Amino acid sequence: MVNTLDRRTLLQIAGASAGATVLSGALASSGTAQAANNTFRHGVASGDPLPDGILLWTRVTPTADALPGSGAGPQVQVSWQVAEDPDFATVVASGALTTGPTRDHTVKVEATGLTPATTYWYRFGYDGAWSPTGRTMTAPPVDASIDRMRLGVVSCANWEAGYFSAYRHLADRGDLNLVVHLGDYLYEYGTGEFDAGGRVVRPVQPAHEVLTLADYRIRHALYKGDPDLQALHAAVPWAITWDDHEVANDQWSGGAGNHTEGAEGAYTDRLAAARQAYFEWMPVRAGVGGAIYRRLRFGQLIELSMLDLRTYRSQQTSGTGVDDPARTITGDAQMTWLKNGLATSTARWKLIGNPVMIARLDVGSLPAWLLGPLGKLLGIPENGGVINADQWDGYNADRNELVDHIRANGTRDVVFLTGDIHTSWANELTTRATGTTTPAAAEFVVPSVTSDNINDFLGLPAGNGLSGLATGLIRSTNPHVRWTELDGHGYGVVEVTPQRCRMDWYHLADRTSPTSASRWVTGWSVGTGSSKLRQESSPLS
């Protein structure tokens, strides 16, 4: 039997409530508001929806000394409820979980036995106080025919560089089924080390670079205290992966560019601390051995593969070293998992949550496969001169392997959703195998929520001449880059239907303002059976 969910049903699922902000407001007017604010001061969140279940998260502060990273406070039991209505008149799942200082008083619950494609409300309780109410939804059945889904897409939220207005605008939409966060959920730097073009908008805690388990816990708590972040977590489930700054800048399997062995302790200790805090504080499932790459299925419409491009990658290199087939960005096991999943998926759209850009970015040199022997003589990498070896550009063998596999299996309707680069891009994925005119997939790249981009690094206003010159240079040497904008901060909204996958880009008026407005910039789409992009003339309605 095929389950059918039409557009109206999916909209009702996404917009069944006026949003978690309204629910929080209702709580604020009740007698338990202050107790809840003190006890559940880091909000609630849900993630990784399945047809019959959802992951729920919160943190409890049972005593005044039980602060994040303190290691203090008692072991306590926290209750949880899932209901069909925001008043909790019909509770369909409930339970209790013991937490304490060994897990930084965080609570992560797998609520199961739920109905597919259903909106639910959830909350946590302790000592007579209830948390703010969260709203979430389960995934549709695997065989459901779905008319439409909408996803919010975000990346790179730097606390010291501004406010998280992008999250607020997404929370206020009321039409999203999921938020996809592509990494750099937080940053590890000390205050003033990476801010808003030299200006600290709001200082981080702890003030120094985070190194220890206590440090990472405190930094996670800081971010979870942001009201806009809390609102978006409470409004819709998230699918999240990490990039490098959840540990340290330019992380690879054996270290990181922003880690000095010895002076900053052992990298293995730092990595273990960062990972422990991450899994305590994030609504993310961990697989065998703590693996975070995973798939989420949404009926017949979408299969979403969330990648981990830090844990298994080889150290970054340069020159023709990027062509070395022994080097990897995915690791062998994850590459096999990804290729097999793409080849066997029965979903219409194969979306890939991709932390770093996979499309080529060449400036000033043609790829060696066009230059022939001359390219090898000049020492030019196979797919062209590498500007940022931290992206897939630095791992040509893996990119070629993946593209060759997509083409060999006739896999269609693959779209990469990408973050990391702080700027906005609509790309067609081309390599030696595809030539310059037959892309294997499409890629939509979201800008940063707040982190510095081109004009910020230059100390110039948005839309300046140098940014425009760089845009023109990129486009002239990269015809597969159909559109790019290098100055804006904001977010993306992806609409997926059986006929097309479309991303709309929204940029903030001022990332340093807590009340910043946003504006629609453009939209690009790809139709089924094609990887060629088309620009849209008006926003999604």
Region of residue 397 (phi > 0: left; psi between -120 and 50: alpha; otherwise: beta): alpha
The residues, ordered by sequence, that sit 6+ positions from 227 with a Cβ below 8 Å of its Cβ are none
SS in 3 state form for 266-292?
CHHHHHHHHHHHHHHHCCCCCCHHHCC
Q: pLDDT at residue 376 above 70?
A: no
- What is the model's pLDDT at position 361? 86
CATH architecture, domain 1-139: Sandwich (2.60)
pLDDT digits (tens, 9 = 90+) for 502-533: 999 999 999 999 999 999 999 999 999 999 99
pLDDT given at position 433: 76
Q: Say if residue 126's pLDDT is above 80.
A: yes
CATH topology of domain 140-536: Purple Acid Phosphatase; chain A, domain 2 (3.60.21)
Residues 392-416 have pLDDT tens digits of: 999 999 999 999 999 999 999 999 9
Q: Any bridge partners for residue 354, and if so which?
A: 418
Summary mean pLDDT of the chain: 91
pLDDT category at 381 given cuts 50, 70, 90 is low
From first CA to last CA, the distance across the chain in angstroms is 32
Q: What's the pLDDT score for residue 13?
A: 44
Contact, 217 vs 69, CB < 8 A?
Answer: yes
Both tokens of 445, joined, read: 């790249």
What's the CA gap between 292 and 282, in Å, rounded? 12
The burial class, CB within 10 Å (0-12 / 13-18 / 19+), for 297 is buried
* Residue 1 in this model has a pLDDT that exceeds 50: no
- Whether omega for the bond prior to residue 206 falls within 30 degrees of 0, making it cis, is yes
* pLDDT(33) > 80: no
What average pLDDT does the segment 294-319 reach?
97
Phi then psi for residue 405, to 5 deg, are -65, -45
Q: Look at 32-36, 70-74, 172-176, 325-329 and tell me which has the smallest mean pLDDT.
A: 32-36
* Cβ pair 362, 478 in contact under 8 A: yes
pLDDT at 383: 65
What pLDDT sits at residue 366?
54
Of the listed ranges 19-28, 207-216, 235-244, 359-368, the least confidently predicted one is 19-28
The pLDDT > 90 percentage for the chain reads: 80
Q: pLDDT grade, residue 17 (50/70/90)?
A: very low
Sorting pLDDT into bands at 50, 70 and 90, what band is 9?
very low
pLDDT digits (tens, 9 = 90+) for 455-493: 898 888 888 888 888 888 888 888 999 999 999 999 999
Positions of CATH 3.60.21.70 in the chain: 140-536
Question: Which residue spans of the chain are classified as CATH 2.60.40.380?
Answer: 1-139
Tell me if 163 sits within 8 A of 511, measured CB to CB: yes
* pLDDT, greater one: 486 or 365: 486
Q: Which two tokens stand for residue 332?
A: 């062998």
Residue 182's pLDDT band, with cuts at 50, 70 and 90, is very high
Percentage of the chain lying above the pLDDT 70 cut: 89
pLDDT, position 457: 86
Note whether 72 and 101 are within 8 A (CB).
Answer: yes
Looking at residue 382, what is its pLDDT? Answer: 65
